Amino acid sequence: MITASHLIKAYGETRALDDVSLDVAEGDIFGVVGTSGAGKSTLIRTINGLESPDSGTVDVAGTRITNLSGDELRAARHGIGMIFQHFNLLSRRTVAGNVSLALEAVGMNKARRNTRIREILDLVGLADRADHYPAQLSGGQKQRVGIARALATNPRVLLSDEATSALDPETTAQILGLLKQLNRELGLTILLITHEMDVVKQICTSAALMQHGRIVEGGRLRDILLRP
Ligand code: ADP
Ligand code: ADP
């Protein structure tokens, strides 16, 4: 579902990505784990088409992201959901308004938007918070809004950029539980980056360890954990 092949990205002397290749199968929950500066966010931004590599290719759901630009890239990116560490919600829009933005961006009319907003808020357990503003929500609820917004347009792939790093352990477990449920019920493929091995252990089926712009270890999670 996601294939990155021989990605190289340099910032001056630093190789943020130094020949990174990655294969995420459909329905997988794939974790990329590594310390700060390892290149994780450069990798996820490249997979999402926010960053273009110096060389190498990215394919998501059969589309070669690295060949696209402008409107074509924007259209492809509607098929990729993304959630963030600090949620990235608009504080002046309600929960429904934040989700609505993603639907407005694909030109959905108001009647269909309202139906979809109700449906997706129901799915993430926020049906009773549609008219609240982000400041009135807990961290876990804010991330649920982030997830609802990311999935509103029904993408097959969800990218998660340290989505639980700002949350306490109990809320983290709840959000990871929700992601697992969405993976199971929607067949959603999830690629997450994290600096916490614990997150990987809680939900991932496969994982890769990243250091200095390289993937130094990877495979099915049970094989990685069993290695000496
Ligand atoms: P991680 O997400 O694992 O913390 P990053 O992808 O943010 O790692 O960074 C990898 C390396 O690339 C780091 O050395 C970082 O300083 C460098 N880097 C990332 N983005 C930029 C940028 N826009 N300009 C210069 N250097 C960058
Ligand atoms: P904001 O004031 O944050 O911009 P709005 O209240 O204008 O948000 O709502 C934005 C979109 O969400 C509109 O399309 C609106 O019809 C829809 N919407 C608002 N409240 C609800 C709700 N409770 N259930 C479903 N859709 C809603």
- Is pLDDT of 148 > 70? yes
What is the spatial distance between Cα 191 and Cα 195, in angstroms, rounded to a whole number? Answer: 14
Candidate from 8, 14, 43, 195 with most ligand 1 atoms within 8 A of CB, to mutate: 14
- Measured in whole angstroms, how far is the alpha carbon of residue 171 from the centre of its chain? 18
Q: Which residues line ligand 1 (CB under 6 A)?
A: 11, 14, 16, 34, 36-42
- Is pLDDT of 157 > 70? yes
Residue 220: beta bridge partners? Answer: 206
pLDDT digits (tens, 9 = 90+) for 98-111: 999 999 999 999 99
State the distance from the centre of ligand 1 to the C-alpha of 213, rounded, in angstroms: 9
pTM to 2 decimal places: 0.92
**Lowest-confidence pick of 36-40, 123-127, 152-156, 222-226:** 222-226
pLDDT digits (tens, 9 = 90+) for 50-107: 999 999 999 999 999 999 999 999 999 999 999 999 999 999 999 999 999 999 999 9
Rounded to two decimals, the ipTM of the complex is 0.74
Q: What is the pLDDT of residue 217?
A: 84
Ligand whose nearest atom lies closest to the CA of 36: 1
- Is pLDDT of 226 > 80? no
Ligand whose nearest atom lies closest to the CA of 9: 1
Percent of the chain with pLDDT over 70: 98
pLDDT digits (tens, 9 = 90+) for 160-180: 999 999 999 999 999 999 999
- Cβ(191)–Cβ(3) below 8 Å: no
